[in-house]
Amino acid sequence: MPSLHSNDKNKLLSTRLPSFLSETELIEACRKNNRQAQHALFQKMAGKMLATIKRYITNTSEAEDALMEGFVKVYSKLDQYQGGGSFEGWIRKIMVNEALMSIRKNKDRYPVDIDAAFDVAHPDETLMQLGLQEIENLISSLPTGYRTIFNLYAIEGYSHAEIAQLLAISEGTSKSQLSRARALLQNQLAALQL
């Protein structure tokens, strides 16, 4: 890989985007509104971020809309990224927030009726027999409200207090929705009769 001096890299950034830019250089090029850098960033992160959004929004068209809105925010807020943590994690947080904003716009998606829940004798053993795709399918089949809180808590690692603040609900609602999501998942596992 050729070594370029800083001035040489700046010249290249102004004309075309070299494939050997580091993440830091790519971010800097995006901050300078380099369209090729923005495209390269999108190409690099879009697949992962769409998968993240689809954990919350199962409708592909709506998820893609949220992805595009999320990237607009990423590009406009790049100056706020200080490099203190993972850049991918910073983008993921924006995408999760964008998915949540989309869900908030459609509050009618939150479930009102709660079905009675059963327990599975050994859900952990059952889960161990499933593949990743099967587990993702089970989670994506949850009603939007349950799925959203399950993803935020179990996958993204948010606390109930943080979830309550993000979704403008009480901590108790977050806890009960998580409990109901788990119960529905357990029912689905029991129905698989593994």
Q: Quickly state the pLDDT bin for 157 (edges 50, 70, 90).
A: confident
Q: Three-state secondary structure along 109-167?
A: HCCCCCCCCCCCCCHHHHHHCCCHHHHHHHHHCCCHHHHHHHHHHHHCCCCHHHHHHHH
The whole-number pLDDT of residue 17 equals: 56
Long-range contacts of 147-153 (CB under 8 A, 24+ apart): 147/55, 147/56, 147/58, 147/181, 148/56, 148/99, 148/100, 148/103, 149/174, 149/177, 149/178, 149/181, 150/177, 150/178, 150/181, 150/182, 150/185, 151/55, 151/56, 152/96, 153/178
Which of 1.10.287.3510, 3.40.50.1400, 1.10.1740.10, 1.10.3720.10 is the CATH number of 20-105? 1.10.1740.10
pLDDT over threshold 50, residue 32: yes
Whether pTM exceeds 0.85: no
Per-residue confidence (pLDDT) for residue 110, from 0 to 100: 44
Q: Provide, rounded to the nearest whole percent, the portion of the chain with pLDDT above 90.
A: 39
Instruction: State yes or no: pLDDT of 81 exceeds 70.
Output: yes
109-192 CATH: 1.10.10.10
| Same fold yes or no, 20-105 and 109-192 | no
Q: What is the pLDDT of residue 122?
A: 41
Lowest-pLDDT range of 55-59, 87-91, 123-127, 178-182: 123-127
Residue boundaries of the structural domains of the chain: 20-105, 109-192
The per-residue pLDDT for range 116-142, each reduced to its tens digit, is 333 333 444 555 566 777 778 888 888
Q: What's the pLDDT at 2?
A: 43
